[in-house]
Amino acid sequence: MWPFNRKTQAEELALFSGALRRALGHPGCPVCRLVRESEERWIWTLLYEYTGDPRTHATFSRTLGLCSYHAWLMRRVVEGRRLMTPSGVARLYETVVRELKSQLAFPRRKRDGCPLCSYAVQTGERQAYFLARLLEGEEWRTAFSRSQGLCWPHLRALLPHAAREVRGWVIRDFTRRLESLERDLAELQRKQRYDVCEGLTPGEAGSWREALWRLGGMYYDRLVVGDDV
Ligand SMILES: [Zn+2]
Ligand SMILES: [Zn+2]
């Protein structure tokens, strides 16, 4: 996918299963994490290798740069990664500034949407497709059951790609998680009443945070890919 070369589906599946194994060990939805890792990698590959590429400059001219969330992420990558200087951003955005100046003089058609938003949506879809394939196997189901499972947006993305039997299995898995979340949310409220003196379990104490990501997807306020990758 722009600006990077496509791999074959078998290569992508092999890469995805390695990455999924790691992501299942982290808190929260594994697909959210993998999408975010791809966004960070997209930014640093772009800044390391493509800031002189005419196609990249043409895309940035059409979109007038990134949306506010991805612009923030680009800033975090530049500030947070060793060996990353801001000159790549300067080079790309010099083109964007010049383009905007000319558009002010001669207003033109509607601009394209943020390229990293489209990349993130397509990445999430592809990963949901690969996850649906892997969940046909017992070994992956066991690993998935031990993880914190999917957020609702990524479950919704996975269902159309899943065979009927896999669909039944993930829906049962998600329903079990919702039932336990519902119990924890009720207990959190009950135990916070002034006349109840019972301690909260970790699941109950964190249930409101889980409800936020389970229903809406994960949000990371720091970089998730380290300098070693
Ligand atoms: Zn998710
Ligand atoms: Zn964006």
d(CA 96, CA 103): 10
Give me the domain span that covers residue 34: 9-216
Closest CA to 92 of 49, 126, 47: 47
Residue 166 belongs to some domain of the structure: yes
Residue 226 belongs to some domain of the structure: no
The mean pLDDT of the chain is 91
| Residue list, CB under 5 A from ion ligand 1 | 29, 31-32, 151, 154, 217
Residue 125 belongs to some domain of the structure: yes
Q: Ligand 1 center to residue 143 CA distance, Å?
A: 17
Confidence of residue 169 (pLDDT cuts 50, 70, 90): very high
Residue 201 belongs to some domain of the structure: yes
Strand, helix or coil at 128?
A: helix
Q: Ligand 2 center to residue 190 CA distance, Å?
A: 40
Mean pLDDT value across residues 47-75: 94
d(CA 226, CA 55): 28
Q: What is the pLDDT of residue 2?
A: 54
Q: Ligand 2 center to residue 211 CA distance, Å?
A: 24
Question: Using CA of residue 82, residue 88, residue 94, residue 100, what is the dihedral sign?
Answer: negative
Backbone angles phi, psi at 103, to 5 degrees: -70, -30
Residue 194 belongs to some domain of the structure: yes
Residue 100 belongs to some domain of the structure: yes
Mean pLDDT value across residues 136-154: 96
Q: Ligand 2 center to residue 78 CA distance, Å?
A: 17
Total count of domains within the chain = 1
pLDDT tens-digit profile of 105-115? Answer: 877 667 789 99
Residue 3 belongs to some domain of the structure: no
Q: Ligand 2 center to residue 103 CA distance, Å?
A: 21
d(CA 151, CA 38): 18
Residue 1 reports pLDDT greater than 50: no
Residue 5 reports pLDDT greater than 90: no
31 alpha carbon, closest ligand: 1
Q: Ligand 1 center to residue 19 CA distance, Å?
A: 15
Residue 183 reports pLDDT greater than 60: yes
